[in-house]
Amino acid sequence: MERKGRERKLPGMKIVMPTPVETPTMNLEDRCLIKLTNESEEIEIAATDLVVLEELGKGGYGIVEKMQHRQSGIIMAVKRIKSSINDQSQKQMLNELDACRRSDCCPQMVRFYGAMFREGDVWICMEVMDTSLDKFYRHAYKIGKHIPEPFIGKMALSVIEGLNFMKEQLNLIHRDVKPSNILLNRHGQVKICDFGISGHLTNSMAKTVQAGCKPYMPPERIDGETKSAYDVRADVWSLGITIIEIAVGTHPYANWKTPFEQLKQVVKEPPPKLPMESGFSVDCQYFVKRCLEKDYNERPKYPELLAMPFMEQARNEKQFSMARFINEILDTVWRR
């Protein structure tokens, strides 16, 4: 029996499409050339020669794995991001990757080695660090430790110096400052990752996908009625939220279920601040207060932040060892 729907169609139901112009495909490669340091030789890495050692993290963006190159033994972190072929934002991303690769290394930025494409993903090869600030502070609280002010100061100093370098030297804005994008190693170094890479992808995905609210987003980005162009002060707000989160042990905002709840809290209520009774210094509290100015015109940019007493103290602090503190936390096993 023929589909009855056909009997009811009218003349002219044919669809005549214009002849499509062949869209040029991206130059997709499943290998890339990487340089571990500015002085070393380039090594060609193929995706198929990378062996997974462990999973480092996962999120809405994709997954990060520690991988080893079979032939050379080199260990790196590989982040896999969904790729939209022929997406304009991907071209922008590739341009930024290339810019990062050619730049002099900034000690506060996770070193980017190269990128390739495989299984519909962009594979971004990066320097491997020992942990993220997100995992680190949660582990610290689990084992009954708090995050001391000198750690917060030195962490913030590294992040701001890295963000300032991105802006001044590479003309990039991070757009996604949060604990899981701040990495630590046992040498005591603090580095930011996702420098500009996720920015365009996030924007690209945001046009089509919304998975929950973004708890690090500043008021001017949330309030559609006063929406403004993105600039570095959005990252300053996110850093302020991050500091409170690790200082107190929990994110200052409750879990929102709707964009309206986010709007109410972030846009219409006073900004969060370090509790007065928490024992943090006046300089630290003032620093956080300035980061979380709701009016972004009043919020400081990096040079002003770097000149503040809290940063000066972080620079001059000699008694506190980041390396010792980080190793102490990482080496303590949590037992229920």
Binding positions for another protein, rule: CB under 8 A: 1-6, 8-10, 12-18, 20, 25, 28-30, 58, 63, 82-85, 117-120, 203, 206-213, 221-225, 227, 257-261, 263-264, 268
DSSP code of residue 133: H
Q: Parallel, antiparallel, or unpaired: how do β-strands 121-126 and 131-132 relate?
A: unpaired
Q: Looking up tokens 């994110």, which residue turns up?
A: 251
Of the candidates 134, 176, 194, 235, the residue annotated as catalytic is: 176
β-sheet bridge partners, residue 76 = 67
> What is the C-alpha to C-alpha distance for residues 176 and 178, in angstroms, rounded to an integer?
6
130 among known catalytic residues: no
Annotated binding site for ATP: 56-64, 79
Minimum gap (Å) between residue 20 Cβ and another protein: 7
How far is it, in rounded angstroms, from Cα 336 to Cα 206?
A: 40
Closer to another protein by Cβ: residue 1 or 276: 1
Interatomic CA distance for residues 218 and 241, integer angstroms: 9
Amino acid at 265: Q
Closest CB to another protein among residues 66, 167 = 66
Q: Is 76 helix (H, G, I), strand (E, B) or coil?
A: strand
Cite the annotated binding site by residue number. Answer: 56-64, 79
CA dihedral of residues 238, 191, 207, 263 (deg, nearest 10) = -10
**Separation between Cα atoms, residue 232 and residue 253, nearest integer Å:** 22
How is residue 231 written in tokens? 């600039």
Closer to another protein by Cβ: residue 115 or 247:
115
What would the two tokens of residue 324 be?
Answer: 């010792």
CB of 219: closest distance to another protein in angstroms? Answer: 11
Of 63 and 74, the one with the shorter C-beta distance to another protein is 63
Q: State the nearest-atom distance from the C-beta of 69 to another protein, in Å.
A: 18
User: What is the three-class DSSP state of 58?
Assistant: strand
Residue whose CB is less far from another protein, 38 or 258:
258
Say which residues have a Cβ less than 8 Å from residue 235's Cβ, sequence separation at least 6. 163, 173, 174, 175, 177
Given a contact cutoff of 8 angstroms between Cβ atoms, the answer to whether 110 and 183 are in contact is yes
Shortest spacing between CB 46 and another protein, in angstroms: 11
Selection from 292, 294, 313, 291 nearest residue 302 by Cα: 291
* Burial of 22 (C-beta count, 10 Å sphere; 0-12/13-18/19+): exposed
Query: Shortest distance, CB of residue 70 to another protein, whole angstroms?
Result: 18
In degrees rounded to 5, what are phi and psi of residue 315?
-65, -40
Least distance to another protein from the beta carbon of 239, Å? Answer: 21
Instruction: CB nearer to another protein: give 1 or 333.
Output: 1
Show which residues are catalytic: 176
